[in-house]
Amino acid sequence: MVVIKNLIAFEDEAGNRFFSNVESLETARGTSVKAFASFDDLTKDENGKNATVAKLLPPLPDINLPIYCVGLNYGSHAKEAKLNVPANPPVWTKPSAALASPGSSIPMSRFCASHLPDWEGELVFVTSREVRDVSPETASSCILGYTIGNDISCRFFQLPEQSGGQFFYAKAFDKFAPIGPVLVSPASFENMKSARLITRINGEVKQNTVIEEDMIFNPARVLSWMSQSTTIPAYTAVMTGTPSGVGAFQTPRQFLKNGDVVEIEICGIGILRNDILFEDGQDSMM
């Protein structure tokens, strides 16, 4: 079996999807790499061929699975939201249609654009195998790698008077889960004990924290909790929560605007970059 170091998924100019195990965290368009039509072929080093990267895709072996999300998992965010830290991680999902590619535009309908769209820079892990009732001690061995995500949220629909305070509806819209650009191995990422998460909107820093110091429930604890009496498929992406600095708690409040460029950087993984596109305009909610 091939040891995965830095996994990318991409399309070539003809629109064919490939996987590649690359050395660099930054694989530019036009780069020629050893490519495989399936993740299984890559792990077996079978049927490889040279292909040219035309467009990066989410670095996930399976793009048809629900995306798990965790809330209130950073002490700084719980503090800014004036919410108590729960005994266990709050968990919900986004549908697979929420997945979006690194470097792509995030199209928002007038409906979404008008209901307080916000950013949430997050560390993401991906499971390496199917798990159920896994212990926290064993869960670390069930993680394929780490990447970056943006848990985009329409804050209006998180208000208790609007949707009972639930998170799913506010976060489950199409393309509201950009993930990428590369999936790095646990061995590579765990060497980054002081890894910092930074979110920039149009170049201005909004979120900035050392993950290990701010995170409440680590990935192993999250995966163990998720898997109790629940089968979690192999290659499930899990967004692990966001630190302080989201738009809803800025002074004054700030929300995503048409043309905004969102960059989320995690040391040792790279930068997830997407621009926001209000296709049909926006109604004022402020």
Q: What is the pLDDT of residues 140-181, one digit of tens each?
A: 999 999 999 999 999 999 988 998 878 899 999 999 999 999
Is residue 198 within 8 Å of 205, Cβ to Cβ?
Answer: yes
Share of the chain above pLDDT 90, in %: 88
The answer to whether the peptide bond before residue 252 is cis (omega within 30 degrees of 0) is yes
Residues 48, 173 share a domain: no
pLDDT at residue number 164: 85
Residue 285: pLDDT band with limits 50, 70, 90: low
pLDDT at 203 over 80: yes
Q: Does 62 reside within a domain?
A: no
Residues 75, 28 share a domain: no
Burial degree of 286 (CB within 10 A; 0-12, 13-18, 19+): exposed
pLDDT digits (tens, 9 = 90+) for 238-250: 999 999 999 999 9
pLDDT at residue number 284: 77
Residue 250: which domain range? 67-278
Number of domains in the chain: 2
pLDDT at residue number 44: 96
Residues 43, 182 share a domain: no
pLDDT digits (tens, 9 = 90+) for 83-96: 999 999 999 999 99
pLDDT at 217 over 60: yes
pLDDT at residue number 275: 98
pLDDT at residue number 191: 74
- Average pLDDT for 47-52: 97
Residues 84, 51 share a domain: no
Structure pTM?
0.97
Q: Does 1 reside within a domain?
A: no
Cα(59)–Cα(9) distance, integer angstroms: 5
Q: Does 286 reside within a domain?
A: no
The total of other beta-carbon atoms located within 10 Å of residue 187's CB is: 11
Cα(207)–Cα(120) distance, integer angstroms: 9
* Three-state secondary structure call for residue 234: coil
pLDDT at residue number 176: 98
pLDDT at 209 over 70: yes
* CATH classification of the domain holding 105: 3.90.850.10
pLDDT at 193 over 80: no
Residues 216, 236 share a domain: yes
pLDDT digits (tens, 9 = 90+) for 113-129: 999 999 999 999 999 99
Residues 198, 149 share a domain: yes
The single residue listed with the structure tokens 């950013």 is: 119
What tokens appear for 115 in the block? 């209901």
pLDDT at 286 over 60: no
Query: Looking at residue 258, what DSSP letter applies?
Result: T
pLDDT digits (tens, 9 = 90+) for 221-264: 999 999 999 999 999 999 999 999 999 999 999 999 999 999 99
